[in-house]
Chains A and B, each alone.
Chain A
Amino acid sequence: QKEVEQDPGPLSVPEGAIVSLNCTYSNSAFQYFMWYRQYSRKGPELLMYTYSSGNKEDGRFTAQVDKSSKYISLFIRDSQPSDSATYLCATRSYTGKLIFGQGTTLQVKP
C-alpha cells in the first residue's frame, strides 16, 4: 500500500468552477501535510501547508485535513486557466523527507 494515494486524473473543469483535489494517507503518525503545484517542465512549488487537522485558507485556495479519516483535500474556488498544473499532495516523515502522492493533473478551460 502506498503511503499517500492520489488520483492522477486528469481533471478538466471550466473556468470559474470549484475544484476539489483529494488524497488519502496510511500512517496516522503523519502530522504535516502539504500541497505542491507543478507547472509543466518546472519543479514543484509549495502552495499550502497545514499541521494536523483543520482548515487553512489562502485566497482562492483552501486546504483541509481530516486525520480521523486520513483524508487531505485542496479546494480551488473560481478556478482560472492559470491554475492548470499538476497538484501534488505530500506529507512529511519523522526524518523530514517528503512523501508525495502521484499528483493530479488539472486543466481549467477558458
Chain B
Amino acid sequence: EAGVTQFPSHSVIEKGQTVTLRCDPISGHDNLYWYRRVMGKEIKFLLHFVKESKQDESGMPNNRFLAERTGGTYSTLKVQPAELEDSGVYFCASSQVKGTGELFFGEGSRLTVL
C-alpha cells in the first residue's frame, strides 16, 4: 500500500512568487493534515481536512496560505505571495480515524524562499 506522497520534495522560489504543494494521502483516509517545520522550531499544525471540509484551520499563519482538498482526495497548499519566513518543511499526514487514529506522515516538501 502506498504511503502519503508529497510533491515537490524541494522547491526554491524567490520572495513574492507562488508555490503550490501537493499531498496524496493514503487511499481511504478521510483525515488529512498539514504541518510545517521552520528552521530551529518544532513541527506545527496548520490545518485539518475531513474529506473535502476544513475541520480546523487554526494553525494557518495568514491569508497568503490557501489549502484545498477538492473531491476529498489529494490536497494542495498554495503560498501566494511567498515570504522569506515561509521557508521550511511542509508535512502532510493522513489518518483513517479522527482522534486517536495514527497519523501517517509524508516525507515533506522543503520550501526555500530566497
Contact = CB atoms under 8 A, between A and B. Distances in A.
A associates with B: yes
Interface of A: 2, 4, 6, 32, 41-46, 49, 88, 92, 95-103
Contacts of B103: 46, 98
16 contacts: A4-B42, A42-B108, A43-B4, A43-B108, A44-B91, A88-B42, A92-B99, A92-B100, A95-B56, A96-B31, A96-B98, A97-B45, A98-B33, A102-B42, A103-B42, A103-B43
A7 to B, nearest CB: 12
Contacts, number: 52
Given A43-B107, A44-B91, A46-B103, A97 B33 contact: yes
Q: How large is the interface on B (under 10, 10 to 19, 20 to 34, 35 or more residues)?
A: 20 to 34
A80 to B, nearest CB: 23
A100 B44 contact: yes
Contacts of A103: 42-43
Interface in B47-93: 48, 56, 59, 91, 93
A42 B107 contact: yes
A102 B108 CA distance: 17
Contacts of B102: 46, 49
B79 to A, nearest CB: 20
Contacts of A98: 33, 35, 43, 45, 103
Contacts of A92: 99-100
A96 B107 contact: no
Interface string B26-43: 000001010100000111
A46 to B, nearest CB: 5
A32 B100 contact: yes
B106 A43 contact: yes
B9 to A, nearest CB: 8
